[in-house]
Amino acid sequence: MLKMLAHSAWLPFLLLMCVVSTLWGYPFRPPLDLDVTPRTTVLSNGLLGLRRFRGSTLNYSLLLLEEEAGLLYVGARGALYALQASDISSSSLQTIDWEASDDQKQQCLNKGKDNKTECYNHIRFLQRFNSTHLYTCGTHAFSPLCAYIDGREFKISSAFEEGREKCPYDPTKGYTGLLIDQQMYTASQYEFRSFPDIRRNSPNPTLRTEEAPTQWLQEADFVGSALVRKNVSSSVGDEDKIYFFFTEKSQELSPYFSHSRVARVARVCKRDRGGLLTLQKKWTSFLKARLVCSLPDYEFHFNVLRSVFFLEGSGPQDSVFYGIFGLEWKNVKASAICQYSVSDIQWAFDGPYMESREESSSKWTQYTGKVPEPRPGSCITDQLRAKGINSSTNLPDDVLHFVRRHPLMYRQILPQKQRPLLFRRNVDYTKIAVHRVTGLDDQIYHVLFIGTDEGWLQRAVKVDGQLHIIEELQLFEKPQPVESIIISEKQMSVYVGSPTSVVQLPLSTCSRYSSCFDCVMARDPFCAWDGLECVEITSHNRRYESNLTQDILNGNQGCDESTADDQVLHRSRSVMAGDDVLLQCELSSNLATPEWKLNGTELRGYRTDSGYRIGTDGLLVIEARPHQSGDYCCFALENGVHVPVVIYSLTVRQELPAPPPVEPIRPHLTTAIYWTIQTSPSDSPEDFHPNPMSPRFEFLSVRNMKAIYLSLITILGGLCFVLTVVLLYVGFCLQGRRGKYSLRATARTERKRGAHLELKTISSHCNGKPDAHDGLLQIVPGEATTSPNKELPPAPPLPPPPESEYVNGLSATLPSVLRKMNGNSYVLLRQTDGDTTSPLCYSFTEELNRILEKRKHTQLCSKPDESSV
């Protein structure tokens, strides 16, 4: 009988848990160790120090930072802006409106172009030309134009120039360009029908790539370019080189990769003047090589280059390119980041060439014949000048002929450590920027800022050839690709351009870490713990203070473990035997795993008979028994350190409890639906609900009935109750799973009717971190008007509940939940609708679901028969 009574209260609890479990849980760490999980996740409403600029137009794709002037130039659709780099949201901005005329737009439409995207003037190029002027190009509704901009007045200062040699017609076509010594180097497939081309434009002789008999570029899609300066102190007398990065159709045969496209880097010399007869007005220094970014053990080849960033160092060894790679299949999301040093690229360009025996054949193999002198494709050095070869026009004809037929190098450029720094599934990275930061250990760390196609920015640090993602930040609520990232050391800011706005964020937000362990485990080279708080060490000269703690290498040294205890939350819970108890413990780090100790002994939660389940945000004690009372301590295990988070003193009572202490309702409720029940000391049915309520509320008295039954005062009442319960059980078993879905509906009706229950429904996010410590279901009885946020409305007389509520049987059971969760035991509910269907929600959720479903069916549906006998 008693058992059955207990079970009657179990049922709604289980139903609640079903709802809970559908949305609950964080993933445990994925098995592949290069697939790194960001340590913390910050949603857009949790960003600190964010500034945003949004003009009257769209497509803020192009950013140009001028540190000395403190200006950030933005190229958008039909407009250019000059913003204050210190605060891009400040009103002191200058604007150039430059949209294509209506005539021009009409012509664009007549060409069959899209009037929503293509027939506008998308700014594609903006760079400094000389000390007073900038140079810009726009697609101008499929008829590109360029112009000079007077930097001081921020006005277009010249007549428009023809732009078809310098700027693509199509706003989405891959394009890259540089202005070096007032010469423009660009690469794109400029027109729809034209071949892709790397060009140098006026004033010096125009140069291009060769198209016949050997086409140097095959359907190339350009993503970036960089100037790599010569070593001025070197005696070789080399010259500056320009590198172009792209993906193109593969020409070489390779036994182990069958892709039709490959990532490449090409190189030309800045002072190339073309050949005299052969290769007239063509590059004499063009060479290209394959960039490899593969997971060798997984036979996974990332062959599409999406973006590059050049981090210039003092020499070719520490000048590095970072590349973001993707897969050829458009519908598979995956990204890899590979790093190449300039010296590795030079090594490939100094190696053997490839050749193709038949014209226009795709069978390229290593060239093993004689290589003419001077070495084809090299720049003019002092050594050549000494031989009278002052410029590329002096090069011998056989060299130029060789160059013309052998643009491809045999050696492939492998990334540092022969593997990607990072590989991620389900993420498409779009852009990257990298910054050097000196840690407290005087090591130089590379901090990477990586943008995704959905508007997130990830900050990562390279340690030992691997990336640790410090955090991921949601910059835009509406998913949109990150289109540019620029770092300002002077402003200590990062700027991100996207289709709808430009965002400015501090390079780091150390204050987000509230404890020494949190600060150190973040492994953020910008941050250190000073004994009281997590501080930025780069902005002030704080790095020389002796009391700072930082550990980039391991992320676990330097914090005093005893101080961690000060941060621990203490809670007490008091429940009835047979209850399921959820002890919540949310970990701020996605990399931490939870561990629980009962009276100092570790609990293992995965054996089915243990009576415990450990999830990433809590411990579930299944059917608590008195001997399970004790101190439950939750630890976050990260980088080998156990950090205590919360301690619960759990009391499981066999008999009627003394009046439980009323725990204050926490005001910062964020996640999901919160109810609290506060049982009044006398705990009699009358006290608990002063108004005679709908039949549901009679079940509130189940426990009291039990007490009465036990004390043999109201045997008759007990029997009546038994009958009701049996009826309910039958009803539930017939209902099956429907109850899971109807619970929410009931809750809503409840609120609508203004009953004495207050429900808070606040949107939750699977990855979100509620700031409340108790993300709980709280039921506030009518007379306890301690509503956290607003006054309870006066309770109107309740109409009889609509028939439909009885059909699903839930309205009748809800109060039993309340009873069961008396005192300080809580149940967490998460909302089921909204954007919570993240693929990351699994594991614990599923397990819980399984357990609960099983219990519901095996115990609840079979036992009524037993007990009714």
Ligand X SMILES: *[C@@H]1O[C@H](CO)[C@@H](O)[C@H](O)[C@H]1NC(C)=O
- Binding flag, residue 682, ligand X (CB under 6 A): no
Please, which residues have CB within 8 angstroms of residue 106's CB and are 6 or more apart in sequence? none
Q: Is the Cβ of residue 92 or residue 599 nearer to ligand X in the bound state? A: 599
Q: Is the Cβ of residue 121 or residue 458 nearer to ligand X in the bound state? A: 121
Helices 2-22 and 702-710, packing angle to 10 deg: 160
* Tokens, residue 115: 């009037």
Q: Indicate the helix (H) or strand (E) that contains 539.
A: none
Shortest approach of ligand X to residue 354 CB, angstroms?
A: 28
Burial 31-68 (b: 16+ CB within 10 A, else e): eeebbbbbbbbbeeebbeeebbbebebbbbbbbbbeee
- Binding flag, residue 35, ligand X (CB under 6 A): no
- Binding flag, residue 630, ligand X (CB under 6 A): yes
- Binding flag, residue 623, ligand X (CB under 6 A): no
Q: Which residue is nearest to ligand X (CB)?
A: 315
Q: Is the Cβ of residue 3 or residue 387 nearer to ligand X in the bound state? A: 387
Would you say 263 and 244 are in contact if contact means Cβ atoms under 8 Å apart?
Answer: no
Shortest approach of ligand X to residue 725 CB, angstroms?
A: 32
Q: Which residue of 91, 131, 258, 562 would you call a contact of ligand X, by CB under 6 A?
A: 131
Q: Is the Cβ of residue 231 or residue 837 nearer to ligand X in the bound state? A: 231
* Tokens, residue 153: 């007045």
- Residues 369-408 close enough to bind ligand X by CB under 6 A: 388, 390, 394
Shortest approach of ligand X to residue 415 CB, angstroms?
A: 21
Q: Is the Cβ of residue 155 or residue 668 nearer to ligand X in the bound state? A: 155
Q: Per CB under 6 A, which region of 115-123, 360-368, 616-624, 692-700 contacts ligand X?
A: 115-123
Q: Which residue of 90, 94, 115, 858 would you call a contact of ligand X, by CB under 6 A?
A: 115
- Binding flag, residue 479, ligand X (CB under 6 A): no
- Binding flag, residue 600, ligand X (CB under 6 A): no
Q: Is the Cβ of residue 173 or residue 703 nearer to ligand X in the bound state? A: 173
Q: Is the Cβ of residue 147 or residue 591 nearer to ligand X in the bound state? A: 147
- Binding flag, residue 610, ligand X (CB under 6 A): no
Q: Per CB under 6 A, which region of 53-61, 659-667, 706-714, 782-790 contacts ligand X?
A: 53-61
Residue 129's φ and ψ, nearest 5 degrees, are -100, -55
Task: Return the DSSP state at 30.
Answer: P
- Binding flag, residue 531, ligand X (CB under 6 A): yes
Would you say 426 and 472 are in contact if contact means Cβ atoms under 8 Å apart?
Answer: no
Shortest approach of ligand X to residue 150 CB, angstroms?
A: 8
Q: Is the Cβ of residue 453 or residue 638 nearer to ligand X in the bound state? A: 453
- Binding flag, residue 515, ligand X (CB under 6 A): no
Give the CA radius of gyration of the chain.
34
- Binding flag, residue 787, ligand X (CB under 6 A): no
- Binding flag, residue 530, ligand X (CB under 6 A): yes
Binding residues with ligand X: total (CB under 6 A): 36
Q: Per CB under 6 A, which region of 122-130, 249-257, 664-672, 730-738 contacts ligand X?
A: 122-130
Q: Per CB under 6 A, which region of 54-62, 286-294, 303-311, 776-784 contacts ligand X?
A: 54-62
The Cα 120–Cα 117 span in angstroms is: 7
Three-class SS of 550-594: CCCCCCCCCCCHHHHHHHCEEEEEEEECCCCEEEECCCCCCCCEE
- Binding flag, residue 343, ligand X (CB under 6 A): no
The Cα 38–Cα 207 span in angstroms is: 45
Q: Per CB under 6 A, which region of 320-328, 626-634, 652-660, 780-788 contacts ligand X?
A: 626-634
Shortest approach of ligand X to residue 390 CB, angstroms?
A: 4
Q: Is the Cβ of residue 315 or residue 465 nearer to ligand X in the bound state? A: 315
Which residue is it, tokens 């998913």? 479
Q: Is the Cβ of residue 390 or residue 862 nearer to ligand X in the bound state? A: 390
The Cα 116–Cα 70 span in angstroms is: 34
- Residues 193-252 close enough to bind ligand X by CB under 6 A: 231, 233-235
The Cα 476–Cα 312 span in angstroms is: 30
3-state helix, strand, coil split of the chain in percent (to 5) is 20, 30, 50
Q: Which of 80, 74, 70, 79 is nearest to 52 (CA)?
A: 74
Q: Is the Cβ of residue 141 or residue 473 nearer to ligand X in the bound state? A: 141
Which residues, in sequence order, are bridge partners of residue 460? 448, 469
Q: Which residue of 58, 146, 702, 766 would you call a contact of ligand X, by CB under 6 A?
A: 58
Site track 302-321 with ligand X (rule: CB under 6 A), x = hit: ------------xx------
Q: Which residue of 44, 57, 95, 117 would you call a contact of ligand X, by CB under 6 A?
A: 117
Would you say 19 and 817 are in contact if contact means Cβ atoms under 8 Å apart?
Answer: no
Would you say 223 and 307 are in contact if contact means Cβ atoms under 8 Å apart?
Answer: yes
Please, which residues have CB within 8 angstroms of residue 709's CB and are 6 or more apart in sequence? 1, 715, 717, 718, 721
The Cα 504–Cα 501 span in angstroms is: 10
Q: Is the Cβ of residue 382 or residue 561 nearer to ligand X in the bound state? A: 382
Shortest approach of ligand X to residue 274 CB, angstroms?
A: 15
Q: Which residue of 172, 206, 563, 763 would you call a contact of ligand X, by CB under 6 A?
A: 172
Shortest approach of ligand X to residue 234 CB, angstroms?
A: 3
Q: Per CB under 6 A, which region of 130-138, 267-275, 367-375, 449-457 contacts ligand X?
A: 130-138
Q: Indicate the helix (H) or strand (E) that contains 320.
A: strand 320-326
- Binding flag, residue 61, ligand X (CB under 6 A): yes
Task: Return the DSSP state at 404.
Answer: H
Q: Coil, helix or strand for 678?
A: coil
- 441 CB-contact burial (10 Å; exposed 0-12 / middle 13-18 / buried 19+): exposed
- Residues 547-566 close enough to bind ligand X by CB under 6 A: 547
- Binding flag, residue 129, ligand X (CB under 6 A): yes
Within 10 Å of residue 507's Cβ, how many Cβ atoms? 22
Q: Coil, helix or strand for 609?
A: helix
The Cα 80–Cα 94 span in angstroms is: 8
| CA dist list (Å): 787 to 571, 750, 775 | 21, 16, 15
Please, which residues have CB within 8 angstroms of residue 49's CB and are 6 or more apart in sequence? 505, 506, 509
Shortest approach of ligand X to residue 500 CB, angstroms?
A: 6
- Binding flag, residue 629, ligand X (CB under 6 A): yes
Would you say 428 and 335 are in contact if contact means Cβ atoms under 8 Å apart?
Answer: yes
Q: Which residue of 39, 51, 113, 122 would you call a contact of ligand X, by CB under 6 A?
A: 122
Q: Which residue of 99, 240, 545, 846 would you call a contact of ligand X, by CB under 6 A?
A: 545
Q: Which residue of 31, 56, 110, 116 would you call a contact of ligand X, by CB under 6 A?
A: 116
Shortest approach of ligand X to residue 191 CB, angstroms?
A: 17
| Helix residue spans in 568-712 (DSSP H) | 685-688, 702-710
Q: Which of 771, 861, 776 is nearest to 818 (CA)?
A: 776
- Binding flag, residue 107, ligand X (CB under 6 A): no
- Residues 132-161 close enough to bind ligand X by CB under 6 A: 132-133, 148
- Residues 687-706 close enough to bind ligand X by CB under 6 A: none
Q: Is the Cβ of residue 315 or residue 690 nearer to ligand X in the bound state? A: 315
Q: Coil, helix or strand for 847?
A: helix
Q: Per CB under 6 A, which region of 354-362, 580-588, 627-635, 766-774 contacts ligand X?
A: 627-635
- Binding flag, residue 56, ligand X (CB under 6 A): no
The footprint of ligand X (CB under 6 A) covers: 58-59, 61, 115-117, 122, 129-133, 148, 171-172, 231, 233-235, 314-315, 388, 390, 394, 499, 530-532, 545, 547, 598-599, 627-630
